[in-house]
Amino acid sequence: MIRLVASDIDGTIVGEDNIVTSQNLKAIDDMKQSNINFTICTGKPYAMVKRFCQDLQASYGIFGNGNQIVDLKTGKEIFKKTLSQEEVQFCINLAKKQKLHIHFYTEDELVTPKLLYMDLRNFRLKDTLFHSDLNFKVVSDIEEYIKKQNPTILKLVISSPFSLEKVEKELNEKMNLTIYRIQKAKQYKDKIIDKEYEYLDITPSKTNKSEALTILSKYLNLSSSEVMAIGDNLNDMEMLQNSGIGVAVANAYDAVKQVATYTTTNTVDESGFAEAVYKYISF
């Protein structure tokens, strides 16, 4: 019996047109009426999607790819993990050496030297469906900003129009971090900013959606067999593998489909999320 459904946002519930279909909304409402814990599980920071979570009446939220867990019914923070000063400085130094774009997230800010890739994407999305509370701060010198403000940094993102495979390898060799290398190219091109690029999503060690979902499941006294996870991107793979049921929507990366229990016949725009819910939950 499924008692918790954890779902990614972009590409899973929300398509490129920034619409949640009526079928997906009905599936979410049916879960609420049946006391099933609907959990948003996203790489976005809490401030970016706080109002969106409220609109969907989600019970819990896993944010920043797992570095923060919030009880959305009460506002209580269940878990948080941040990057150390040493980890942040190493990433900045590496980005500077390779002349790569870097930006970072605090609890309520996105700080960048220039809006270019994922930071530009999130800027374009902030006043759409998400009604974001995230503050976008463009600064001339990220290092100087950190020295003066001493922010608590939850996540770093390094971006480039070229392959970041070697940069990812160096980071893995020198630092103990969680890194996802995501390619936004060809069929996965970022249509919101009309760009192809790669980015490294960098969070503290052993930080991912799956680890956070395990923490939340223990908090709620649930076993993994009572959890269904739904996603489309590479950062969803572990939670799909480690949940009782892992579902990839039809538009998911091929690698995600390979580890899923089930792949929907419908894409995000065709209510693939709702298809998954009604396949495995009887209301």
Q: Residue 66 corresponds to which tokens in the numbers above?
A: 């797992």
**The pLDDT value given to residue 240:** 98
Calpha distance 176→134 (Å, rounded): 28
Q: Residue 158 corresponds to which tokens in the numbers above?
A: 């390094």
pLDDT tens for each residue of 240-280? 999 999 999 999 999 999 999 999 999 999 999 999 999 99
pLDDT tens for each residue of 105-124? 999 999 999 999 999 999 99
**The pLDDT value given to residue 17:** 87
**The pLDDT value given to residue 16:** 82
**The pLDDT value given to residue 194:** 96
**The pLDDT value given to residue 255:** 96
Calpha distance 165→119 (Å, rounded): 20
| Residues listed for the chain | 283
Q: Residue 186 corresponds to which tokens in the numbers above?
A: 């060809």
**The pLDDT value given to residue 68:** 97
One digit per residue, the tens of pLDDT, for the chain of length 283 reads 999 999 999 999 999 888 999 999 999 999 999 999 999 999 999 999 999 999 999 999 999 999 999 999 999 999 999 999 999 999 999 999 999 999 999 999 999 999 999 999 999 999 998 999 999 999 999 999 999 999 999 999 999 999 999 999 999 999 999 999 999 999 999 999 999 999 999 999 999 999 999 999 999 999 999 999 999 999 999 999 999 999 999 999 999 999 999 999 999 999 999 999 999 999 9
A 10 A CB-CB count for 217 gives: 21
Calpha distance 197→201 (Å, rounded): 13
Calpha distance 132→42 (Å, rounded): 14
pTM exceeding the 0.85 threshold for the entire prediction = yes
